[in-house]
């Protein structure tokens, strides 16, 4: 039996911690209530925020901790020994093609701890993240998307913490914390709220896709117990 579930305290964050459209609204309202912005400015920013979210297909619900850091945790539960799970995860790493250089990895089979950096190169378009083999017209161009994967592998389960996602376009790199909440930043043609939401969404989709792919691989290829 194999299953994937998310830890409620880390992925389905409380409304006070999860980065969402509601959290952006609360941030703007606090500025208005503190007298930092006028009522008219509050309304105009709230309207601009909703327009930006609509343009990217909805505000991406991002799992963050109480400090605003991205924190997405998944657990794959499976009836297998720790050595077999370790081997299967190693195979998955080799096949994804996203694992970064050796010096960006940590591996301790005795404790079951593995830390790797995963990096993918894509073409970003108005329709989202596309394979580099596909070349539609788009204003974002080629980009690298990355995250750190911290694994705890033990008999019967693989706990994965997906941390520190970032996106790089040309020579500029944006960690998640530099993109949201978007209302902290000026909304201008070079770093618009729409662009910030788009990049955040691409990062989260990259992580979600990898998590689902790892689950699928373990379900298909897990070595049989002897």
d(CA 135, CA 55): 21
Contact 52, 193 (CB under 8 A): yes
What residue ranges do the domains of the chain occupy? 2-221
Contact 62, 136 (CB under 8 A): no
Q: What does pTM read for this prediction?
A: 0.80
Q: End-to-end CA distance of the chain: give it in Å, rounded.
A: 16
Q: What is the pLDDT of residue 225?
A: 46
219 pLDDT higher than 90: no
CATH of 2-221, one of 3.30.530.80, 3.40.50.10280, 3.40.50.720, 1.10.8.350: 3.30.530.80
Contact 130, 136 (CB under 8 A): yes
Give tens-digit pLDDT for 73-114.
Answer: 999 988 899 999 999 999 999 888 888 776 678 999 999 999
Q: What is the pLDDT of residue 141?
A: 63
Q: What is the pLDDT of residue 6?
A: 40
For every residue of 49-104, DSSP letters joined together read HHHHHHHTTS---B-B-TTS-BEEEEEEEES--HHHHHHHHHHHHHHHS-B--GGG
Number of C-beta neighbours around residue 16 at 10 A: 9
161 pLDDT higher than 80: yes
């Amino acid at each position: 039996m194999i299953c994937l579930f998310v830890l409620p305290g880390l992925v389905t964050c409380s409304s006070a911690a999860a980065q969402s459209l509601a959290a952006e609204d609360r941030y703007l309202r606090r500025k208005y209530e503190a007298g930092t912005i006028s009522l008219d400015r509050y309304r105009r920013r709230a309207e601009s925020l909703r327009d930006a979210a609509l343009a990217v297909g909805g505000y991406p619900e991002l799992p963050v901790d109480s400090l605003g850091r991205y924190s997405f945790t998944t657990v794959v539960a499976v009836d297998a020994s720790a050595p077999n799970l370790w081997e299967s995860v190693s195979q998955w790493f080799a096949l994804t093609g996203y694992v970064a250089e050796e010096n960006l990895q940590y591996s301790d089979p005795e404790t079951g701890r593995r830390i790797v950096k995963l990096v993918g190169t894509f073409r970003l378009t108005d329709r989202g993240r596309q394979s580099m083999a596909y070349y539609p017209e788009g204003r974002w161009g080629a980009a690298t998307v990355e995250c750190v994967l911290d694994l705890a592998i033990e008999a019967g389960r693989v706990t994965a913490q997906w941390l520190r996602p970032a996106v790089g376009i040309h020579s500029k790199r944006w960690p998640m914390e530099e993109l949201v909440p978007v209302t902290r930043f000026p909304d201008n043609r070079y770093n618009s709220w729409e662009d910030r939401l788009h990049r955040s969404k691409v990062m989260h989709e990259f992580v979600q896709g990898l998590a689902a792919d790892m689950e699928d691989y373990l379900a298909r290829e897990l070595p049989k117990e002897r």
